[in-house]
Amino acid sequence: MYTNLYRGCKWLIEQFKKHHYLSLRDINENWKADTDMSGGMEMLRKTFQRYKIALKESFGVEICCKEGGSYAYYIKNPEILHDIGLADWMLNTLAMDEKLRDCKSLRDRIVLEKIPSGGRKLDCITNAMLKDCKLRFNYRVYGSCEMNERIVEPYGLMLYHQRWYLLARFGGDKTYTFGLDRIKSPKVTSEKFCIDPSFNAKDYFEEFYGLYNSGKDKVQIVLRAFKDEGYYLRDLPIHKSQKEIGCGDGYVDFMIEVRPNNELVGYILSRGDRLKVLSPPSFVEEIKMTLDRMRNNYM
Q: Tens digit of pLDDT for each residue in 185-234?
A: 999 999 999 988 888 888 888 899 988 888 899 999 999 999 899 999 99
- Written as one string, the DSSP assignment of 1-65 is -HHHHHHHHHHHHHHHHH-S-EEHHHHHHHHHH-HHHHTTPPPPHHHHHHHHHHHHHHH-PPEEE
Q: How far is CA 225 from CA 46, 116, 260, 278, in A?
A: 54, 34, 18, 10
| pLDDT band of 110, cuts 50, 70, 90 | confident
pLDDT of 162 reads: 78
- Helix or strand (DSSP H, E) at 219: strand 219-226
Q: pTM here?
A: 0.67
- Secondary structure class of 253 (helix, strand, coil): strand
User: What's the pLDDT tens digit per position in 8-49?
Assistant: 888 888 888 888 889 889 999 999 998 888 888 889 889 999
pLDDT of 254 reads: 98
- Length of the chain counted residue by residue: 299
Percent of the chain whose pLDDT exceeds 90: 44
pLDDT of 87 reads: 60
From CA 176, how far away is CA 259, in angstroms rounded?
16
User: What's the pLDDT tens digit per position in 167-179?
Assistant: 999 877 788 899 9
pLDDT of 153 reads: 94
pLDDT of 150 reads: 93
Taking every pair of Cα atoms in the chain, the longest distance, rounded to a whole number of angstroms, is 80
Q: Indicate the domain borders of the chain.
A: 2-102, 119-205, 219-296
From CA 179, how far away is CA 153, in angstroms rounded?
15
Angle at 167 (CA atoms; ends 125, 220), nearest 5 degrees: 155
Tell me which architecture the domain covering 219-296 has in CATH: 2-Layer Sandwich (3.30)
pLDDT above 60 for 84: no
pLDDT above 70 for 53: yes
Dihedral Cα 86, 217, 152, 133, nearest 10 deg: -50
- Quick one: CA dihedral 225, 229, 233, 239, positive or negative? negative
User: What's the pLDDT tens digit per position in 234-292?
Assistant: 999 999 999 999 999 999 999 999 999 999 999 999 999 999 999 999 999 999 999 99
From CA 175, how far away is CA 74, in angstroms rounded?
40
User: What's the pLDDT tens digit per position in 87-107?
Assistant: 666 666 656 666 666 666 776
pLDDT of 233 reads: 96
Q: How far is CA 124 from CA 9, 100, 160, 185, in A?
A: 27, 30, 19, 10
**φ, ψ dihedrals at 154, nearest 5°:** -75, 115
Cα 64 from chain centroid (whole Å): 28
Tell me which architecture the domain covering 2-102 has in CATH: Orthogonal Bundle (1.10)
Tell me which architecture the domain covering 119-205 has in CATH: Roll (2.30)
- Are residues 122 and 86 in contact, defined by beta-carbon separation less than 8 angstroms? no
pLDDT of 66 reads: 81
